Amino acid sequence: MRYGHTKKILVTGGAGFLGSHLCERLLAQGHEILCVDNFFTGSRRNIAHLLDKPNFELLRHDVTFPLYVEVDEIYNLACPASPVHYQFDPVQTTKTSVIGAINMLGLAKRLKARIFQASTSEVYGDPEVHPQPEEYWGRVNPIGFRSCYDEGKRCAETLFFDYHRQHRLPIKVARIFNTYGPRMHPNDGRVVSNLVLQALRGQDITLYGDGAQTRSFCYVDDLIEAFIRLMNTDSEVTGPINLGNPAEFTIRSLAEIVIALTGSRSKLVYRQLPPDDPRQRRPDIAKATQLLAWEPTIDLRDGLMRTIRYFEDYLSTGPAE
Ligand code: NAD
Ligand code: UDP
Ligand code: UDP
């Protein structure tokens, strides 16, 4: 039985980095959570602390297959997010984004339920416009190594907007920029996890190129707050809406902050810049600020300290599943 404003909420990809934080936050608000995950990149470890909560249910399931359940709301996060993972089986990546979206939209349509899509700044591809407003259509290579992810997410957005126009489905589409925090995958090659683990292990810190390229890093708790605000705001607010932290840092300054916060003796070493590595990335979050009354509150040093503590614990307890 459900009381008051509590809802039964489906979170696909709920055992992943972002999904596990979302499940945790929604449970804390008193909702009943159905977490669906095939454990491709997610893990039981991420949700171990939720498994014995009475309002939490875990279902091992691949979203490329139909799913018949009864819920009030859907957050669709299932999809590997980092290049090493999404390029491992690119066909499956496209299937997860596209067929996964069709199945979750079909489910939402049958239930007349609100559905949220975790889209990405990668829909802008290698942009000619900085920073990118939501109106920018992007510049994406349709046949490259990154296309399974970028085009899969673009097609998922298309499906969301067509279900909205054709079936009046209430949709919420978020375009997520670089996010970091506890439960990031340790081996996904992302700059924050790489640098923190290298610093903690006393290994050389790898800067690609000259380290002068910039990124803007959003702490996971801030992002999850925006997800929930977007889901609960007026139904006319469909998105797409950029979510991220506009504070911009060079990768070299990120490395210097990580070294200072860990007290590491690691040295900076320079490695070849990967092809197509953007020089600059910063979200334009004017829309989110205006429509959701949201802006990030956790600064990089504070968020990094929390992430460092997580990886210290991870290293001391060993990489369990
Ligand atoms: P993650 O890899 O930690 O989480 C993705 C989850 O989806 C994992 O638990 C994985 O096992 C699950 N999954 C993958 N394929 C599935 C399938 N076919 N069926 C069921 N479950 C499946 O990644 P994350 O960083 O938590 O990303 C979550 C979502 O947010 C993704 O859709 C990603 O594209 C999007 N996103 C993340 C970022 C970021 O900076 N982390 C940026 C932009 C977009
Ligand atoms: N679907 C699902 N759960 C449901 C309803 C639908 O997984 O509760 C899937 C089903 O596999 C279908 C897809 O969603 O193929 C799209 O559903 P929709 O009703 O839009 O299309 P149709 O069933 O007419 O192809
Ligand atoms: N990067 C780096 N050292 C690393 C990992 C990444 O210098 O060990 C750089 C990478 O070349 C890019 C930036 O850090 O310029 C962010 O990389 P990430 O893969 O985290 O995110 P994305 O490039 O998708 O924004």
The bound ligand whose nearest atom lies closest to the alpha carbon of 100 is 1
**Closest C-alpha to ligand 3, atom 3:** 207
pLDDT tens profile 73-100: 999 999 999 999 999 999 999 999 999 9
CATH architecture of 8-181+218-245+280-297: 3-Layer(aba) Sandwich (3.40)
pTM here is: 0.97
Closest residue by CA, ligand 2 atom 17: 106
Q: Which atom of ligand 3 is nearest to the CA of 122?
A: 24
Least Cα distance to 188 among 276, 54, 82, 107 occurs for: 82
Known catalytic residues are 149
Encode 270-289: b = buried (16+ Cβ within 10 Å), e = exposed: eeeeeeeeeeebbbbbebbe
Q: What is the number of the ligand 1 atom nearest to the C-alpha of 63?
A: 19
Ligand closest to CA 40:
1
**pLDDT for the residue 279:** 85
The pairing of strands 73-76 and 8-12 is parallel
**CA dist., res. 157 & res. 120, Å (int):** 10
Distance (Å, whole) CA 178 – CA 174: 13
CA of 65 to the centre of ligand 2 (A): 10
Mutate to test the pocket of ligand 3, among 177, 196, 248, 251 (most ligand atoms within 8 A of CB): 251
Distance in angstroms (rounded) separating the CA atoms of residues 157 and 91: 18
Neighbours of 65 (CB within 10 A): 10
86: Cα separation from own chain's centroid:
13
User: What is the residue extent of each domain of the chain?
Assistant: 8-181+218-245+280-297
pLDDT in 10s for each residue of the chain, 321 residues:
444 589 999 999 999 999 999 999 999 999 999 999 999 999 999 999 999 999 999 999 999 999 999 999 999 999 999 999 999 999 999 999 999 999 999 999 999 999 999 999 999 998 889 899 999 999 999 999 999 999 999 999 999 999 999 999 999 999 999 999 999 999 999 999 999 999 999 999 999 999 999 999 999 999 999 999 999 999 999 999 999 999 999 999 999 999 999 999 999 999 999 877 888 889 999 999 999 999 999 999 999 999 999 999 999 986 554
Q: What is the ipTM score, two decimals? A: 0.98
List, for residues 160-189, the tens digit of each pLDDT value: 999 999 999 999 999 999 999 999 999 999
